[in-house]
A and B are shown apart, each in its own frame.
Chain A
Amino acid sequence: DAGVIQSPRHEVTEMGQEVTLRCKPISGHDYLFWYRQTMMRGLELLIYFNNNVPIDDSGMPEDRFSAKMPNASFSTLKIQPSEPRDSAVYFCASSLLSRGGIDYGYTFGSGTRLTVV
Chain B
Amino acid sequence: SQKIEQNSEALNIQEGKTATLTCNYTNYSPAYLQWYRQDPGRGPVFLLLIRENEKEKRKERLKVTFDTTLKQSLFHITASQPADSATYLCALDSGNQFYFGTGTSLTVIP
**Chain A interface residues (CB < 8 Å from chain B):** 4, 31, 33, 35, 41-43, 45, 48, 50, 55-56, 91, 93, 97, 102-111
Give the distance in Å from the alpha carbon of A54 to the alpha carbon of B31 in the complex: 23
B82 contacts A by Cβ under 8 Å: no
- Apart from A48-B97, A104-B46, 5 more pairs, CB < 8 Å: A31-B96, A41-B102, A56-B97, A91-B44, A108-B45
Which A residues are in CB contact (< 8 Å) with B96?
A: 31, 48, 50, 55, 97
Chain B contact surface mostly: strand
**Chain B interface residues (CB < 8 Å from chain A):** 32, 34, 36, 41-47, 49, 89, 96-103
Question: Closest Cβ of chain A: how far from B98's Cβ, in Å?
Answer: 7
Question: Closest Cβ of chain B: how far from A89's Cβ, in Å?
Answer: 9
Which B residues are in CB contact (< 8 Å) with A42?
A: 89, 100-103
